Amino acid sequence: MNMKVQRHHLQKAGSIEAPRSEARPKAGGPKDYLPEALTGDTFEAPRAHAQTRVNVDLTGGQPLMLKGDGPVMQVRGKEEAQGEKRRVVNPDLQAFMAEHEGMETTQDLVDYAYANGGDATLQRLCEDLHLDYDEVSQLRSVRLEEYVYSGPVLSDDLPSTMAEADAAFITQFGDPTYNPDGADSTHNCGPTSLAMALRASGNMPEGLTPEQEIDYARALMFPSDDHPTITVNGQEIPQLDDDGTDTSLTSIAGGARRSEANAGMNQTGWDNLDAALANGQPVVVNGTLSQEWADQFPGDYHLEGSGHMVAIVGRTEDGNYLVCDPLHPDGPVEMTRMQLATFTSRDPAFVTVGGGE
């Protein structure tokens, strides 16, 4: 997939309540989407996952390269960003949701379409409601409000620009910029992703080198009184240097809980992931490495192994995700939901880091 290079700047913003427009019903109402004649066939919409509903009030740098179906960007520098306030950009979808009680997620929209004609109805709905059919049909747990507004609710506590995300970035291997003391090859994607999430949430002790932060995160994941410690700023910081041992989301969750009382929740779904970021909680996401995933990154990518973990440390004003992949030597990237889905598949599985509110 190829994409034109775009250059733009982003600005950090707090949670801004968008003005709500009047609900404007379509001519003919919902029955417009019924087929002219129903054959009696039963259409069953495949479900992506058993959903857990979350009630959330969803009221810069120089990009160097873009690939894929949306902007993937990397940054060097601390340039100030510019942006616009969150506002309603899809009043047709907002009105449709108001007309249909319980219409909250893409799965609800798919269910409605399949109850009223099937895939052809879904395609027509997506066209009329200005939605991407591929995204709606593949990613079933996205809150529809994500498509109503110009961007998400942003947490004041998390990065919303590439330059801010760069401050949280570490590689899992040796790199002169992001981990000068790291080894050539490690199994540290989990501890490194946890370390980046701890940085982004303000829960990483100060004064550690990147490699010491990784060893601290691993020590949190596998606690023991036998771990050696280092003294930094008067604190005894446990260290576990075990670069060759694989980790899991379960151990990530345990490490997150030991760093912050309200952290370390295992969750799934785009709705829950977006809610966590809006609540000031970076996440560590589990996924599968592929050439398609690696090809989205500007510059080099250390593609090795299959299972992998990355940290998502925030979102931009226009809704892209700030992804910190410890196998990418050139810093964080900005990804659309569909680009991120090449790693997570239909539904992300992740652990929240940081207490939120």
6 against 80, higher pLDDT: 80
Identify which has the larger pLDDT, 129 or 303: 129
This prediction's pTM:
0.79
**Of the candidates 14, 12, 58, which has an alpha carbon nearest to the alpha carbon of residue 270?**
58
Lowest mean pLDDT among 9-13, 33-37, 315-319: 9-13
Predicted local confidence at residue 345, as pLDDT = 86
Share of the chain above pLDDT 70, in %: 75
Residue 262 binned pLDDT confidence (cut-offs 50, 70, 90): low
CA-to-CA dists, residue 289 to 3, 319, 320, angstroms? 21, 23, 20
Select the more confidently predicted residue: 270 or 67: 270
Question: How does pLDDT run across 93-104, given as a tens digit for each residue?
Answer: 999 999 999 999
pLDDT: is 216 or 82 the higher one?
Answer: 216
Tell me the domain boundaries of the chain. Answer: 162-352
Residue 348 pLDDT > 50: yes
Identify the residue with better confidence: 268 or 19. 268
What does the pLDDT average to over 241-268? Answer: 89
Residue 5: the pLDDT is: 22
* Residue given tokens 């589990």 in the structure block: 286
Determine the pLDDT at residue 44: 38
- In tens, the pLDDT along 142-165 reads 999 999 999 999 999 999 999 999
**Strand, helix or coil at 349?**
strand
**Rg, C-alpha atoms of the chain:** 21
Of 72-81, 116-125, 193-202, 303-312, which range is least confident? 72-81
User: Do 102 and 108 touch, CB atoms closer than 8 A?
Assistant: yes
pLDDT for 10:
28
CA dihedral defined by 289, 291, 293, 297, rounded to 10 degrees? 120
d(CA 104, CA 116): 18
Query: CB neighbours of 317 closer than 8 A, spacing ≥ 6?
Result: 10, 11, 12, 13, 83, 84, 86, 150, 151, 154, 160
Mean pLDDT (the chain) is 80
Question: Rounded to an integer, what distance in angstroms lies between the CA atom of residue 338 and that of residue 122?
Answer: 18
Q: Does residue 137 surpass a pLDDT of 80?
A: yes
Residues 295-306: tens digit of each pLDDT: 999 989 999 888
CATH class label, 162-352 = alpha beta
Compute the average pLDDT of residues 174-186: 92
> For 152, how many CA atoms within 13 A lie in the half-sphere containing its CB?
29
Q: Does the pLDDT of residue 39 top 70, yes or no?
A: no
314-329 mean pLDDT: 97
- Judged by average pLDDT, the poorest of 23-37, 247-261, 331-345 is 23-37
Residue 17 clears pLDDT 70, i.e. is over it: no
Q: How confident is the model at residue 316 (pLDDT cuts 50, 70, 90)?
A: very high
Spatial separation of the C-alpha atoms in residues 188 and 138, rounded to whole Å: 31
**How confident is residue 263, by pLDDT bands cut at 50, 70 and 90?**
confident
Res. 8: pLDDT tops 70: no
When mean pLDDT is compared across 64-73, 151-160, 220-229, 260-269, the lowest value belongs to 64-73
The 10s digit of each residue's pLDDT in 273-287 is: 999 999 999 999 999
* pLDDT tier for residue 264 given thresholds of 50, 70 and 90: confident
pLDDT of residue 84: 53
Confidence band of 356 (pLDDT split at 50, 70, 90) = low
Q: Give the Å distances, CA to CA, from 43 to 19, 106, 133, 145, 268.
A: 37, 17, 18, 26, 26
